[in-house]
Amino acid sequence: MKKRYLVQGLGFALLGLIALVVVVPILWVVGEIVWRGVGAISWEFLTTAPHEGMKAGGIFPAIVGTMLLTLGTALAAIPVGVGGAIYLAEYARDTWATRLIRLAIINLAGIPSVVYGLFGLGLFVLFLQFGTSILAGCLTLAIMTLPVIISAAEEALRAVPVEYRTVSASLGGTRWQGIYRIVLPQALPGIITGVLLGLLRAAGETAPILFTVAAFYLPRLPQSLFDETMALPYHLYVISTQVPGMPLQVQYGTALVLLVLVLSLNVAATLVRSYFRRRRQW
Amino acid sequence: MNAHKALRSGPVRWNDFVIESLIRVTGFSTIAFVLLILFFLLREGMPAFFQVPLDNLFGPAWYPTLGHYGMVPQVVGSLVVTLTAVLIALPLGVATAVFVREVAPNWAREILKPLIEVLAGIPSVVLGFFGMTVIAPIVRQSLGVPTGLTAFTGGLVLAYMALPTIISVAEDALDAVPKSYRDAALAMGATRWQTIWRVTVPAARSGIITAVLLGMGRAIGETMAVMMVTGNAARLPHELDFLFRPIRTMTATIAAEMGEVAQGSDHYHVLFAIGIVLFMVTFVINLTAAVTIFRKRRRGGLR
């Protein structure tokens, strides 16, 4: 065997090794949290409020809070995100204004999450006087989620062949009818995948909700949109850094619940994508 | 899409007009959001530059209770942690992208890609928690330092948070290199290994630079994980082993202190001013990355 093939063999082995270095810690994180957290999970842990300085009881209000926040984020972000994607994919021409929109999306995607928190505090909490509330938190998270949804939905719309639009027009449909009845349903799986990926980011974020909605300790469920709420990511932060003597198992249990919630959205997104990719007509 | 020209002459209905106007508004709303974010950061942050003397604001001491608002320790902290993260993530990310794209058999790719997506999905607070409880003790014991919550620990955790971004963008860049480049190299007798490092990767280099820039933007803006694992000491590093001592980043300062300040105080405005700095830095990084992407796209592909 020539020397250069030996080099190639060694090189490929090294690359494989590096890929392992990247992947093994991922399995380690997930494995460790499942292994050490699963003992904390019980019906009581999932369905009761924390008490005795959060050292006992469950994390029910935090779970509900995170679900409410995710739902509210979805309600606010989906119409604007999908609308923006439809504009970019179906209406916008390549003008400087369109390029400005794309630039804005890239920048929204790059703004640090804690800066979104500052913005939410400045606009929603203080200027619009929503107070630290679910409304303020959801709107902040929604704006943060927008770029993910728009990019994914635009890509899904663009993937629908142009013939679908021309055929609709040739049958006398208006442009909007073509988009609404033909293109949108075809692009729906891709859009759903994008929405789920955006929402899983929102569900796991802590920094944007720090000053806009998250309550340190609030053992009851929120009563209205203008109420504060506990949330899983913030609760994990609180019990792992702010509460001395917190049982480690409770911390791992909380991390596990958050991880399962987020990763199930991840799995759902993957399933939707692969299921519809197989059934696609084009 | 040329078909749009034909579609534009279709019948116009009132109902459509309203919906299409709304869609136009949502499209342009993204610009409005960026401007709103900038406006509110400036509105709450600019007073800091007038109320706090500039030599205090850009000084080396951060003791908010004593009226010292020097941002330099946090800026240096963010730089140290981000550079550490990039130095770790760059070789790992590029090598993994090359492996996934050019070398790995199909079955390995089917395992690697979903796992990397899982990593992208793990909330930063969970990684921070893992870093605190598992990585920090290991760092402390193996290096014999007084605490495992150090700049290095932060860089390490951040590197893994930046990896999914770096890998996926670098993969796209490699993907965009025309097959004919590889074919030509192989036809001249180069091995696949030689083709990868002398043809494919150099041809994808600007895409790879974009990948690193985006990863860096992600790293510098990361908050929770960094706050939990870097030890949060707002002091200017002046020892040689600063990498293995506690440090504090700009993001962590905002997250840790904003909850406790009185609205309208100097401290409050300074925290927003740090937000302005963060916004500007990530803006420039992402703009640079975007310009590279736009330019390449016009030339065809992410090369």
List pLDDT tens digits, range A159-176: 999 999 999 889 988 888
List pLDDT tens digits, range A146-163: 999 999 999 999 999 999
Cβ-based contacts under 8 A for chains A and B:
296
The answer to whether the CB atoms of A240 and B28 lie below 8 A apart is no
Q: How many angstroms separate the Cα of B237 from the Cα of each of B2, B72, B141, B249?
A: 59, 10, 22, 12
The per-residue pLDDT for B146 is 83
**Which pLDDT band, with edges at 50, 70 and 90, does B12 fall under?**
low
The answer to whether the CB atoms of B33 and A210 lie below 8 A apart is no
Chain A neighbours among B 221-240 (CB < 8 Å)?
221-224, 228
To the nearest 5 percent, what fractions of chain B are helix, strand and coil?
80, 0, 20
The per-residue pLDDT for B297 is 58
Would the pLDDT of B72 be above 50? yes
The answer to whether the CB atoms of B125 and A237 lie below 8 A apart is yes
Beta partners for A35? none
ipTM of the complex: 0.92
Region A112-140 average pLDDT: 94
Q: Looking at the complex, report in whole angstroms how far the Cα of residue B121 sits from the nearest Cα belonging to chain A.
A: 7
Contacts of A16 in chain B (CB under 8 A): 99, 103-104, 108
> What is the average pLDDT value for chain A, to the nearest integer?
91
List pLDDT tens digits, range B101-114: 999 999 999 899 88
The per-residue pLDDT for B268 is 94
Contacts of B275 in chain A (CB under 8 A): 114-115, 118
Q: How many angstroms separate the Cα of B61 from the Cα of each of A93, B72, B289?
A: 51, 8, 33
Using the Cβ of A35 and the Cβ atoms of chain B, whether some distance falls under 8 Å is answered with: no
List pLDDT tens digits, range B122-137: 999 999 999 999 999 9
3-state secondary structure of A144: helix
Using the Cβ of B46 and the Cβ atoms of chain A, whether some distance falls under 8 Å is answered with: no
Q: Looking at the complex, report in whole angstroms how far the Cα of residue A43 sits from the nearest Cα belonging to chain B.
A: 22
The answer to whether the CB atoms of B254 and A114 lie below 8 A apart is yes
Residue A118's H or E segment, with its range, is helix A113-120
The per-residue pLDDT for B227 is 92
Closest CA to A144 of A190, A200, A183: A200
Beta partners for A51? A56
Task: Return the exposure string of A198-216: e unless at least 16 CB atoms fall within 10 Å of the residue's CB, then b.
Answer: bbbbbbbbbbbbbbbbbbe
Beta partners for B69? B62
**Which pLDDT band, with edges at 50, 70 and 90, does B300 fall under?**
very low
The per-residue pLDDT for B11 is 52
Which chain B residue has the Cα nearest residue A86?
B23
DSSP symbols for A188-243: HHHHHHHHHHHHHHHHH--HHHHTTTB-SS--S---STTS-B--HHHHHHHHHHTS
The per-residue pLDDT for A215 is 82
Largest CA distance in chain B: 76
The per-residue pLDDT for B61 is 85
Q: Looking at the complex, report in whole angstroms how far the Cα of residue A52 sits from the nearest Cα belonging to chain B.
A: 22
Using the Cβ of A203 and the Cβ atoms of chain B, whether some distance falls under 8 Å is answered with: yes
CA distance B270 to B275: 9
CA distance A1 to A274: 42
CA distance A84 to A132: 28
Q: Looking at the complex, report in whole angstroms how far the Cα of residue A270 sits from the nearest Cα belonging to chain B.
A: 9
CB of A102 closer than 8 Å to CB of B27? no
Largest CA distance in chain A: 75
Which of B92, B94, B129 to mutate against chain A (most A CBs within 10 Å)? B129
Region A192-203 average pLDDT: 92
CA distance B195 to A7: 13
Q: Looking at the complex, report in whole angstroms how far the Cα of residue A277 sits from the nearest Cα belonging to chain B.
A: 16
Helices (H), B52-148: 54-57, 72-98, 106-121, 124-130, 136-143
DSSP summary character for residue B204? T
CB of B48 closer than 8 Å to CB of B270? yes
